A and B are shown apart, each in its own frame.
Chain A
Amino acid sequence: MIDQNLRLASLVENSETEVTALLRLGTENRSSIAGKIVWRTPKGPKACQIVAWCARPPDEAGAALIIIRCDSDDEVVNRLRELNEQLNILKSELIARRQVERGLVGALKARDDFVGIAAHELRNPLNVFHLTLQLLYRMPQKSGNDIRGILDKLRAQLNRINSLVDHLLDVTCIRAGKLELDLEKFDLSELIREIVRRFAELHPDIPLVVRVNGAAAGNWDRFRIDQAVSNLISNAIKYGLRKPITVAVSVDDKKACVAVQDQGIGIAPDDSERIFERFERAVSQSHTEGLGLGLWIAKRVVEAHGGLIIAEGQAGRGAVFTIQLPLSKEQHA
């Protein structure tokens, strides 16, 4: 330490006490320290602001590496300005990173919640499937009709599981930007009648009304439009309080529209956008069947066709979901 003091002391005008104090600070303090020294230069003494820091702490022999950076006052001011600018940039980057981090944490939580919902939703039909098999084992005498009834139940539960898995795969597919449309010319009115007929068979207790004014032909992906409209009707049944549901098709010279109207719990104004997000439901407190993906998928499907999907309604006064589809292929996005 003494040698170091002497070596530095021979280069500067500062007193030995000042040099010793400086070096002690440098070795004791891992962060940088600021000070002032006067260098001996060929052109005479030169006062400098210095920044010193300990690059390597003292070893067993007491040898440490202290880096001393010396600047003239102007250089110090400029350097400080640069450092401040860098600091501000770093602060902005930090804030941005924290926002991204918060987003990622939220996304991870949403994904975890979703995995929980998916597992729960898959367990219910699996449970019915399992119980129905147990029932079959326990039935002492089985007639052909008994077997047929049980097989129908098992098939219905398999269809439920299949539909849930399809939804999960669709999310992955859409998120990866791999939603490809298989366009063909067909009559939307005819498709809507077919979909409503299908739902009416499954839910004979819920009045389903179709309102169609003639044909509405266009180039769309039949399977995907079926899926989007089915998701809307399925939601109307889920939240429609078993009251009548109307599915209306209309057409003008540019677009065809399908409006699904229920008289159920409706949508709170704040929810009309949120419900199209993944894993969201208009009603989050009570238990409803499904993954909460139906509207998200419907929106992506309709948008892939260059169309729009709009939700309207009031809490407690039912809801109307309208799909608008451009008629010509050129209008597709």
Chain B
Amino acid sequence: MLEKEQRQLMGSDVMDTHMILVVEDEDESRQVLMQILELEGFKAVGASNGVEAMDYLHSSELPCLIILDLLMPVMNGRQFRAALLEVADLAKIPVVVVSALDSSAISDLGVVRAFRKPLDIDALMRIVRENC
């Protein structure tokens, strides 16, 4: 269920400096966040779990940032993060975690920043601009 079918099979080492991948299982959260990112001038692609996100990364241009939820079915955020770190090109992509979980559950993931829901969108946009 990937939004924005932008799969142009450009090879996994090409980084799109304005594209952000939003990995979030809750449809509403994902869609609204993508709309906000687009209104702020970025391209946004959505995936509803880690497997979909990984499929996307292996077949399309790489994003400049990944916004990642943790609790998801199929492949959760923690598993997805571990899978990213196993591939050199993917491990370079900065990751921001947005979760309803306590930040203590996030400290070991090695991400740029961890946000707790409800999301502070202004703070997120600062991180997005720094990285994209």
Contacts and interface: CB of A to CB of B under 8 A. Distances in A.
A126 B119 CA distance: 9
Interface of A is mostly: helix
Nearest to B70: A287
Interface string A280-315: 000000111100000000000000000000000000
B121 interface: yes
A134 B121 contact: yes
B100 A131 contact: no
B20 to A, nearest CB: 14
B68 to A, nearest CB: 14
A131 B101 CA distance: 18
Q: How large is the interface on B (under 10, 10 to 19, 20 to 34, 35 or more residues)?
A: 20 to 34
B40 interface: yes
A282 B25 CA distance: 19
Given A139-B39, A286-B73, A287-B71, A124 B26 contact: yes
Contacts of A156: 28
Contacts of B32: 128, 131-132, 135, 153
A189 interface: no
B39 A138 contact: yes
A130 B123 CA distance: 14
Contacts of A148: none
Contacts, number: 61
Interface in B27-75: 28-29, 32-33, 35-36, 39-40, 71-74
B117 interface: yes
A159 interface: no
B123 to A, nearest CB: 12
Contact of A287 (B76, B117, B121): B76
A309 B24 CA distance: 35
Interface string B73-114: 110100000000000000000000000110000000000000
Contact of B118 (A120, A127, A139, A287): A127
Q: How large is the interface on A (under 10, 10 to 19, 20 to 34, 35 or more residues)?
A: 20 to 34
A157 B29 CA distance: 11
Interface string A109-146: 00000000001100110111111101100111000000
Nearest to A289: B26
Nearest to B39: A138
B119 A127 contact: yes
Given A127-B117, A134-B121, A289-B26, 7 more contacts: A124-B29, A130-B118, A130-B121, A131-B32, A131-B118, A131-B121, A287-B25
23 contacts: A119-B100, A120-B100, A120-B101, A123-B100, A123-B116, A123-B118, A124-B29, A124-B100, A126-B117, A127-B100, A128-B28, A131-B29, A131-B32, A131-B121, A135-B35, A139-B39, A140-B39, A156-B28, A286-B73, A286-B74, A286-B76, A287-B71, A289-B26
Interface of B: 25-26, 28-29, 32-33, 35-36, 39-40, 71-74, 76, 100-101, 116-119, 121
